[in-house]
Amino acid sequence: MEASVVCAHLRIRVQDPLLSTLRRRIPLSDYRCLRFKSSRRSCYTPFIRAQQPEAMKNSNVDSEEMKELGSGNPIDDIRMKQGITIRRRPTTGPPQHHVGPFEFRLENEGNKPQNILEEIVWNKDVEVSKMKEKKPLLKLKKDMDNALPPRDFIGALKDSYVRTGMPALIAEVKKASPSRGVLREDFDPIEIARAYEKGGASCLSVLTDQKFFQGSFENLEAIRSAGVKCPLLCKEFIIDAWQIYYARTKGADAILLISSVLPDADIKYMSKICKLLGMAALVEVHNEREMDRVLAIDGIQLIGINNRNLETFEVDISNTRKLLEGERGEIIFQKDIIVVGESALFTPADIAYVQESGVRAVLVGESIVKQQNPTEAITGLFGKDISKI
């Protein structure tokens, strides 16, 4: 029997009875890139749903949100329509050239990242593909069953806001960044996590990207195993649903979804996976268009406003207020969405500014992790002691 498969720039038909039984609507995150010799453009083949854990096989998480993909619109067109400029992977393979016995490659528009965020995403695409080969979802199922139970990330933020009357703190365990380099040479993730908790952090964010931030999933797992009570956000560049399951096996209670990287269908799909696993999803935005996209998605509970442009790494704290003014702020209030302020937060005045703008939580890393005593740094950041007495 013939089955139609939607591809990035074309529609192909294949003679495969297995594909005929696949559901028509398949999440963008569950498509794998293949290269055809006859074309430099990428097309996608579906990831077999049968490989998913029982919780996912019996769910309907990929139903209504996949109407657009099911309509046959090219994936690249969908992303462009939503204002997503970050390409998931190179659009062309690097051309090979030979001079005598030597081979070299020339960069071109298709295989050169246009900014640091795109470079991170391309690297993550290769990294995740390798990790999935070593540990497919079926193998993750056992690890998930043995993982420590998820904790209430959103509840912890709300409790802290009520207790202190100030934005709840998500303190970031972060060794380095592409823009700032190494932030702390004597980096002990467990000791830093404990210092944050002592200082009044309600939740922690743990960087897990190794290449660009010198983080690791081992750090995440170690902090959870060390008995730190703060719920943990896995700060990773999520491009594939597999990463959510993997983060859960390492003790994550929440994950980050970046709207400048993920189309709406992926955000919806991955958010529903989080709910099934008892996790929270922090959906990050930077501009008005991204905010409008996310506000149109049902069930969103956490929105992070990043004052840093991830494409240029420029920061502007007024970005928070701009995105929370007028009708957007009203919608957020009506939906009881917790807004998290991110980046450019260094002083009590900064905290007061974003709180007055409508923020109920802040995610802070650089300004406290660089200090010799992170516990005291939190008090300095808020202008008062916010620790639990």
Average pLDDT in the 124-145 region? 93
Q: Which residues pair with 357 in a beta bridge?
A: none
Other C-beta atoms closer than 10 Å to the C-beta of 309 total 17
Q: Average model confidence (pLDDT) for the chain?
A: 83
For residue 177, CA distances in Å to 84, 107, 209, 215, 246 come to 23, 25, 10, 10, 23
Q: Two tokens at 280?
A: 């929270």
Q: CATH classification of 142-382 is 3.20.20.70, yes or no?
A: yes
- Which residue among 118, 197, 284, 290 is the active-site one? 284
Examine the residue annotation and report whether 342 is marked as an active-site residue of this protein: yes
Q: Is the pLDDT of residue 32 over 80?
A: no
The structural domains of the chain, with segments of one domain joined by +, span: 142-382
- Which residue among 65, 68, 118, 172 is the active-site one? 172
Examine the residue annotation and report whether 172 is marked as an active-site residue of this protein: yes
pLDDT digits (tens, 9 = 90+) for 173-185: 999 999 889 999 9
Query: What is the reported pLDDT for 379?
Result: 98
Examine the residue annotation and report whether 221 is marked as an active-site residue of this protein: no
Query: In angstroms, rounded to a whole number, what is the distance separating the alpha carbons of residues 243 and 282?
Result: 15
For residue 82, CA distances in Å to 68, 290, 371 come to 12, 8, 40
Which residues fall within 8 angstroms of residue 3, CB to CB, at 6 or more apart? 13, 14, 16, 19, 20, 22
- Which residue among 68, 118, 342, 366 is the active-site one? 342
Using the 8-state DSSP alphabet, how is residue 150 labeled?
A: P
Examine the residue annotation and report whether 343 is marked as an active-site residue of this protein: yes
Q: Two tokens at 80?
A: 């462009």
Examine the residue annotation and report whether 124 is marked as an active-site residue of this protein: no
Q: Which residues pair with 337 in a beta bridge?
A: none
Query: What is the reported pLDDT for 362?
Result: 98
Evaluate if pTM is beyond 0.75: yes
Residue pair 306/334 in contact by the 8 Å Cβ criterion? no
Examine the residue annotation and report whether 197 is marked as an active-site residue of this protein: no
Query: What is the reported pLDDT for 106?
Result: 54
pLDDT digits (tens, 9 = 90+) for 270-320: 999 999 999 999 999 999 999 999 999 999 999 999 999 877 788 999 999
Position 360, amino acid: R
Q: Among residues 148, 167, 228, 126, which one has the least CA distance to residue 378?
A: 167
Query: In angstroms, rounded to a whole number, what is the distance separating the alpha carbons of residues 121 and 129?
Result: 12
Examine the residue annotation and report whether 174 is marked as an active-site residue of this protein: yes
Per-residue buried b or exposed e for 27-55, using 16+ beta carbons within 10 Å of the residue's own CB? bbbbbeeeeeeeeebbbbbbbeeeebbee
Q: Among residues 42, 58, 39, which one has the least CA distance to residue 50?
A: 58
**Measured distance between the N- and C-terminal CA atoms of the chain, rounded to whole angstroms:** 68
Residue that has been written with the tokens 């170690």 in this structure: 222
Position 60, amino acid: N
Percentage of the chain exceeding pLDDT 70:
75
pLDDT digits (tens, 9 = 90+) for 218-273: 999 999 999 999 999 999 999 999 999 999 999 999 999 999 999 999 999 999 99
- Which residue among 42, 68, 160, 174 is the active-site one? 174
- 242 by Cβ neighbours in 10 Å (0-12 / 13-18 / 19+) ranks as buried
Q: Is the pLDDT of residue 337 over 80?
A: yes
- Which residue among 177, 219, 271, 343 is the active-site one? 343
Average pLDDT in the 333-346 region? 97
Beta strands in 293-365 (DSSP E): 302-306, 338-342, 361-364
